[in-house]
Structure 1
Amino acid sequence: MKSDSKKVAFLLAEDFEDSEMRNPYEAIVKNGHDAVIIGLEKDKELRGKKGTVSYTTHLSADEAVAADYAAVIIPGGKSPSHLRESEAVLNFVREADRLDMPISAICHGPQVLASAGLMRNKTFTSYPGIAEEIAAVDGAVFVDKPVVVDGNFIMSRTPEDEPMFIEETIRRIGSNAY
């Protein structure tokens, strides 16, 4: 890890959307940062729902400390539905939000933020099928756009939005590529 690189937390569980993990992960590494995969268990191999990629967690959410990271990325798919049931994951994102660090969530990722109680009065985007569920949170307003930034949150809808999602995330974190 270069001395000026940053640690970026990826919150991940089984059945994530393959490209929504792979593409941001590769972009973070390419831009000179250290990508750390945090899951429900340490050293657990997780497979994407399409079966094209798998990743092994570095830490469990119980072990992770939000202050050790510069940003958080939450890929979509079915992963967020597993993550949102973990109080350790919810506490991690609450602390990351309290520290005002960038939190990027794509597709179903905003479900984790909603479960952590962080979507009140936020303008957001997500996979359209969960928009109503998240909009039911006090004052959350859904907009159907490729990328929505509200405070420290960066949110996108689907894999088609990944280029803009990644660009905005890297812009907020910074690049240390050679």
Structure 2
Amino acid sequence: MSKKIATVITNMFEDVEFTEPAKAFQEDGHEVVTIELEAGKTVEGKQKEAKVKIDKGISEVSADEFDALFIPGGFSPDLLRSDDRIVAFTKAFMDTDKPVFAICHGPQLLITAKTLEGRSATGYKSIKVDMEYAGATYKDQEVVVCKNQLVTSRTPEDIPAFIKESLELLK
């Protein structure tokens, strides 16, 4: 069954951490909806390999409209977490136990939303201490699935495992 996946993304995302999972989600029949502060603009990855057109502005969407949340890494999650609406949107998925897929620096949004307490997760090594301060049990492995809801991975090398477990949760 096709699922609608909210993807919060802005400039300086890690190109392959968006493009590869998004392609896999779409090939599996799911809809990927890109969300940023405003609809219609184009954001660019930090490697300048990918450009993404933003489908919806954050003020136009509600977590209720979506089945899952995808947070690509790079510098994008750090930029997005300064907007309270994006943080509240992220928190809504965690609070309602909808699937959340966060890779690399993606968990920074989960930290700001204060949703990692008591969870097992992973992320890029530079945010390990931040995740621990936020109450997460950090695991240095390619993919961590917590409570059949949260899928996290560390780096672009982990993308195949990240995609596999994310697609599993979408079934």
TM-score where L is the length of structure 1: 0.93
1:90 counterpart = 2:87: yes
- TM-superposition CA deviations, 1:8-45 (whole Å, max 9, x none): 11110110000000001101110011110011211110
Residue 61 of structure 1: CA displacement?
1.4
Matched, 1:36 2:38: no
Distance 1:93 1:133 in 2: 17
Q: Is the 8 A contact 1:14 1:48 kept in 2?
A: yes
Correspondences of 1:161-172 after superposition (within 5 Å): 161-172=158-169
5+ long unaligned stretches in structure 1: none
Could you tell me how far 1:99 is from its partner in structure 2? 2.0
Indicate the percent of aligned positions where both proteins have the same amino acid: 36
The alignment of Structure 1 onto Structure 2 pairs a total of residues equal to 170
Preserved CA contact (<8 Å) 1:67 1:99: no
Equivalent residue number for residue 150 of structure 1: 146
> For residue 95 of structure 1, what is the amino acid of its counterpart?
A
Q: CA deviation at 1:96?
A: 1.2
2:124 corresponds to 1:127: yes
Match of 1:61 in 2: 58
The SS at the match of 1:62 is helix
**1:145, CA displacement in angstroms?**
0.4
Deviation at 1:159, TM superposition (A): 0.2
Cα offset for 1:113? 0.4
Q: Which runs of 5+ in 2 are unaligned?
A: none
1:103-138 residue CA offsets vs partner (Å, 9 max, x unmatched): 00000000000100101111110000111122111x
| TM-score normalised by structure 2 residue count | 0.96
Match of 1:115 in 2: 112
Which of 11, 14, 30 is the equivalent residue of 1:14?
11
- Aligned partners of 2:113 and 2:60: how far apart in 1? 18
Give per-residue Cα distances to partners, 1:79-103, cap 9 Å, x unaligned.
0001111111111111112221100
- Give the root-mean-square deviation of aligned CA atoms: 0.9
1:141 paired residue among 137, 141, 145: 137
Contact 2:43 2:53 in 1 (8 A): yes
CA shift digits 1:48-98 (9 cap, x unpaired): 000111001111112111111111110000000011111111111111122
Q: Helix, strand or coil for the counterpart of 1:22?
A: helix
User: Which segments of structure 1 move beyond 3 Å, counting only runs of 4 or more?
Assistant: none
Describe the SS at the equivalent of 2:151: strand
Amino acid at match of 1:33: H
**Contact preservation (8 Å) 1:125, 1:143:** yes
